[in-house]
Amino acid sequence: MSNPFHEPLTTENAALLLVDHQIGLFTGVRDMGIDELKHNVTSLTRAALRLDIPVIATTTSADELWGPLIPELQAVLPKDLEVIDRSTVNAWHDERIRGALESLGRDRIVVAGTSLEVCAALPAISATAAGYTAYVAVDASGTFSVTKRETGLARLHQAGVIVSDYASLVVEMLADNAHPIAPHVYEDLDMPFGTLVGQFVAARSR
């Protein structure tokens, strides 16, 4: 019997679900710095797009409650990408989002959301129950207290969701540092030292 924890995340089997990285919710984030969270989710999104990973973005009641996506994320997403605005607490319960994921034919979903314990955790848990392998990029998912972060992570572990940092997930999908796209992916992750090291090694080999 295969173990999803042992099978790699790849550019062919993965999709990225971004849940509620909205201006109003960001004002309440307390478990990490706001600038760090903005950096992490935009870096994750930029690198995923570079690797041709399908991206689905959603907001909750943008006009009535939490406002639009943060401008930094809007600037990274393709201009023609429709952000799905919903009312359901659990993004998985919105038929448009679930249908969009199902239509991709991919069995692994990377989720990032604000807040971690609701916006990221609930759809990841639901996707796992539906037979997908779900990952949560915890450092691209902020929340409103350390307690919420700790209990959210505990619930994810209990439900069998794979938790990781965003850069490790991207590098796993990249798979090969010899790929011509690798330096650009590291730049997207804001890891320019990866490119610098490569240049240093190339210079020494001449």
Residue 4 pLDDT > 90, yes or no? no
pLDDT given for residue 16 in this prediction:
98
Question: Which contiguous run of DSSP H or E holds residue 26?
Answer: helix 23-26
CB contact burial 106-144 (16+ within 10 A = b; e otherwise): bebbbbbbbbbbbbbbbbbbbbbeeebbbbbbbbbbbbb
Domains of the chain: 13-174 (3.40.50.850)
Which sequence positions are flagged as catalytic?
119
- Written as six digits, the tokens of 7 are 């099978």
The model's pLDDT over 28-81, given as tens digits with 9 standing for 90+, comes to 999 999 999 999 999 999 999 999 999 999 999 999 999 999 999 999 999 999
- Give the pTM: 0.92
- State the average pLDDT over residues 92-101: 98
From CA 192, how far away is CA 1, in angstroms rounded? 40
